[in-house]
Each structure stands twice: as structure tokens, then as C-alpha cells.
Structure 1
Amino acid sequence: MIRVLIERHIAETLEDAYETRSRKILQQAMSAPGFISGETLVDTSDPNHRLTLANWRSVAHWDRWYHSETRKDLMTEIVPMMDQDEKITILEQSGH
């Protein structure tokens, strides 16, 4: 299993519109092959800094979703609301 950390920073006043659209993305991801679970978090020191932590069966499953037409279409609605580029970090459990 891998974890994918997605960080986004939302422009002022667009938080509600972003919430609606980001929920759509998570709902679509939930039906994608290899998706296990996910949660969205808000930075307590910066309410426009949003983090999504998603668990996927493998990097291959995540890559398939990341490059899917469904995600690309949904992201076209979100990208204009962000004032910074999306940052994605793929994490796996340490072998220690």
C-alpha cells in the first residue's frame, strides 16, 4: 500500500466552491481500481491550505487514476481556484 499526499492552496474567497468540486474528485477516486481510502484535512494555521491523504494499493493504481481522463476533467474545474501548483508526494511505509 502507498499513501499519496496531495497539497493544494486555494485562492481567497474560493473555499466553498473548491470544497464542492474537491468532493467530486474524491467520490470519483473512490470508485477507481486500487483506491483504499482517503481524507481531506485543513491546515489549522492556513485555512486555504488543503491536504488530501489517500491510500492506494500501489503506485501503478495511483498513476492510472492520476492520468485518467476523469481526473483531468475534474481538475480543470479546480486548477483555476488554486493560487499555487498542486504538490503531490507518494509515500510508503519504511522497512524499519
Structure 2
Amino acid sequence: MMTVITEITLKRGSEPEWDAAMRDRLTAARGRSGWVGGQLLIPLDGQNTRVVVGTWQSRADWQAWHEDDAFAETRTRMEGLQEGDSRITWHEVVVDSRGEE
């Protein structure tokens, strides 16, 4: 399994619109092959910063999701709401402990 962490800085005032689009994106990802789960986080010291944590069976599954129409639709909605480039880091999952198991 692979986890991708993306940190984004949003234009002030765009947070509710961006968050709604990301909620829709995470909901749509649930039906994708390889999707394990995800979170949208707001750092306590950065109200216009977002951290997206997505876990996939493989990086190829994540890449295929980026070519999906649902992903493209949310990308269109989010355009112009961010400041600067996002920062992406990849992590191999060694242990995954969740409450459902």
C-alpha cells in the first residue's frame, strides 16, 4: 500500500468552496479500484492550509484515478482557489491500523 500526502495553501476566503470540492472528490474515490481511504486535514496553525492524505493499493491506482472524469470535474472546480504549488510526498505503508478491523 502507498499513502500520498499533499499539502496545499488556499487563497483566503476560498476554503469552503475548495473543501466542498475535495469532499466530493473523496466520495467519488470510494468506488475506484485500489482506493483504501483518505482524510482532509486542517493544521491548527494554518486555517488556509489543507493536508490531503490518500491511501491506495498502488501508485498506479492513484495515477488511474487522476485520469477519471470525476477527478477532472473537481480539478476544474478547484482551479484558481490555491496559492502556489502543492507539495506531494509518497510513503510506503508499513502498518495500517484502523478501528474497523
Tell me the TM-score normalised to structure 2 length: 0.84
Q: Distance in 1 between matches of 2:65 and 2:42?
A: 23
**Identical positions, percent:** 23
Any gaps of 5 or more consecutive residues in structure 1? none
| Most deviating of 37-46 and 81-90 | 81-90
Query: What does residue range 1-96 of structure 1 map to in structure 2 within 5 Å?
Result: 1-93=1-93
Which blocks of at least 5 consecutive residues in structure 2 are unaligned?
Answer: 95-101
- Once residues 88 and 71 of structure 1 are traced to their aligned partners in structure 2, the CA distance between those partners, rounded to angstroms, is 17
Cα distance between partner residues in 2 of 1:85 and 1:59: 21
The structure that is helix-richer by fraction is: 1
CA RMSD of aligned residues (A): 1.4
Deviations 1:43-88 (A, max 9, x none): 1111111001111001111111123232122111112111122222
2:71 partner SS: helix
Pick closer, same or farther for the CA change 1:66–1:87 going to 2, 3 Å.
farther
Cα pair distance change 1:90/1:67, threshold 3 Å: farther
How far apart are 1:8 and its partner, in Å?
1.3
User: What secondary structure does 2:50 align onto?
Assistant: strand
